[in-house]
Every structure is written in C-alpha cells, then in structure tokens.
Amino acid sequence: MSLVAVSVAEREVGSRFEACALDRDRAAQVEAGLASLIAEGVVVEAAVVATCARSELYLAAPHFHAAVERSVATLASALGVERTVVEQLATVHFGTGALRHLYRVAAGMESAIVGESEVVAQVKAAIERARARRLARGELSHIFERALEVAKEVRSSTQIAHGAASVVTMASDLALAGSEASSVAVGVVGTGAVGTEVARVLTERGAQVTVLTRRDELLREPPEGWRVRPLAELGSVLSHLDAVVLATAATSTILTPSMVPRDHPVRVVDLCRPRAADPGLAAVEGVRLVDLEEVNRLVAGQLERRQEAMTDAELVIERALGQDGALLHAGELNPTLALLYERAEALRRAELERALRRVGDDEAARRALEELSHRLVRKLLHGPSSALRKASSSADDLGPLLAALRSLFDL
C-alpha cells in the first residue's frame, strides 16, 4: 500500500491558491468523491486537510498513478475548476516523502507562521472526520495519530512554537502580562477584524473582556463571553481594567493621560495607525504603553527565534521517520512484489502460449518450455526481490527503489 499526499498550499502558490481553497461544503464534496474511489478500489483510505491556506488529500492506495489521477480529478470537480488548474498548482508526495510532509504540516513547519498551533487541531479534525465518514479505518488513521504525536514532540522539545507570532497573539500576551488570565480584566476598543480577534483570543484564554464600541447592534446583543459598553464610557471603565487594547479605525486620539485614574496601573497596547493613544501616557506613573511599532518588533523577534528552531525540529522529524518510515515501506513492499510477480506471470503465460502453438502436441517439448519460462521468471526476479527485502530496513533506501520499480513496470 502506498501513502500519497496531494497538496496545494498558499505558501507555495500565492494568490493562485484561491482557486483551490476548500470551504466546508467543497471539502464534503471531495470526501464524497473519495468515498466513491474507495468503493471502486482505486483508493483504500483517504483524509482531507482543508484550512484557510491549505487543501490536501492524503491517500492510502494500491496504485500510485491511478490514485493521483483520479483524486486530482475529484478535487477539481469539487472546486469547479479545470483539472489542469489543480495539476499545475498541486505538489504530490509519495511514500516517505508523504509521511515527512504530513509530519511537517502537523508540526506547523509548513505554515505561513512557523509553529502556529491551529494546524494541530485542523489535522486532528481531518482524521476524525475521515473516520466518521468511514474513509479511514486502519493504516491511514494510525499514520495521522503518529503525526500528531510527532507534532507534540516537536513543540515540546524545540522552540518552534515559542512566544507570540502574530500581532493579535502578541497583543493578547502583552495585555495579560504573564498573569493568570482569569484574574485579568481587559478592555478592547474596536470591533473590526483585529479587535474582534483580540477579544476572541482573550476570551478563550479566560480573561474578563469588555469590548467598547459604537456599534448599536453589539450593544443590544453582546456576543457570548463579552461585556459590551459604549465607547464613550472608556474613561469610566478604565478604573476597572488591568489592560486595554486599542484596535479601532479612529483617526484621532481616543485615550489620553487625563482619562487614566490616579494610582491605577494599566497596560495600554495601541495597535492603531495613526496612534489612538496619546504618547504622553508613557510618562504616567503605572502606565505601560506599547505601540504598534514595538508590537511588530516583538513579533519579528519571536518569528526569528522560531526560524532558528527549525533545525532542531527537522532533527525530530527525521528521527521519527527513521523509526516509522521503514515500517511504512515494509507495508508497501509485499504488495509491490506481488504486483511485480503478477505482471511477470502474465507476460510469461502470454509468451508461453505463443511458443506452445508452434510446438504442437509434443508433450516433452511443452513441459520443457513451461519449466524454462518458470525458471527465467524466478531467476530474473530473485535479485530485485532480495535487494528490496534487504533495503526494507531503511526508509531512505526502500522508498526510492519502490517508486522506481512501480514507474518502470507501471505497477
């Protein structure tokens, strides 16, 4: 059985990824198409990893070429694009290469933000969905579980996931300042994309979040977990806050030194451009003011640290492949050899039949030809079979050999 990964990632194809992005409905269509391929025997197991920046199919299949060809057609059909579009954008990984790719994806090593944590949950959700829809039952399910284990090891034994790696997560970290989130009251000014995401992250982490806005609909029906107050009350609300994050589209200053209660420590994170916080706040006793430029510098420093950890993460991945890759190919070896012997036997029989028609009824000659054909097949295949079995102890040696064998004999 071969492990195959068909991947289209925004990181690799840029804006062209939009044509191959899978929303929930399209991902369900792909899964339905893969179920049909499983019913036909083209694919044995399958899983779909669909994120905002990644559309990937993972397949356990008996025949590499047929699996890729049919699965790419399935993906193109669900996307409503020509098959050539997917062919031009997709990268195909096979065997140990597919295993390595899955491990790297799960560990966040292939993400636009190196080490981001969301992808772990996305990979886990993908295999759970595949199990629920009876697309994955055995080998592929085990491979995904192993990928999640390797991802956990990468994150725990390296610095690849260290610190905040986006403006939103850095702003949240600065607002909490290392304190227990449940004990921190944070005000978030602004309900655009950034402000909403900061409020969401802080709420998920357990902080007491107050959102200040001018939007009447939010004041009437606050989202779950938020306390929503009118922006005009910012001055009075400040006395109850430990931190405030400014993420508004306002073009003028909305927080000044005079608004901060005397002897009240508060952390101010200003994500606005132009600034929404008066620079004079930095001189107020107890106020810690961080502007967008400093936030960006802090994020850049964390990302640099994560990039430096990539070497350590690579070593974890390769060590895991050394343990798992040979087992993966060992599972491919016997089916591949069986296909090779079947192909050789079919050719032997076809050529023998032609030869026997010339011999006529001479039984001795017929027996001699049949014995000769058997010996030739056995002797021709003995060397390659022995070499493959010897190489089965090494993932690095066996993978390329099996791929070459399948390609040469169209197995």
Q: Which CATH architecture has domain 167-305?
A: 3-Layer(aba) Sandwich (3.40)
**In the chain, where the domains are located:** 2-162+310-324, 167-305, 327-409
Structure confidence by residue, pLDDT tens digits, 150-164: 999 999 999 888 776
Query: What value does the mean pLDDT take over residues 107-129?
Result: 89
Structure confidence by residue, pLDDT tens digits, 287-329: 999 999 999 998 888 888 888 888 899 999 988 887 776 556 5
What does 96-144 look like in DSSP terms, one character per residue? HHHHHHHHHHHTTTTSSSTT-SHHHHHHHHHHHHHHHTTS--SHHHHHH
Give me 90's structure tokens: 């997709």
Structure confidence by residue, pLDDT tens digits, 163-180: 766 888 899 999 999 899
CATH for 2-162+310-324 is: 3.30.460.30
- Put simply, whether the predicted model's pTM sits higher than 0.85 gets the answer no
Beta carbons within 8 Å of 142's beta carbon, 6+ residues apart: none
Residue 232 has pLDDT above 60, yes or no: yes
- Examine domains 2-162+310-324 and 167-305 and report if their fold is the same: no
Output 180 or 390, whichever has higher pLDDT: 180
What does 211-273 look like in DSSP terms, one character per residue? EEES-HHHHHSPPTTEEEEEGGGHHHHGGG-SEEEE----SS--B-GGGSPTT--EEEEE--S
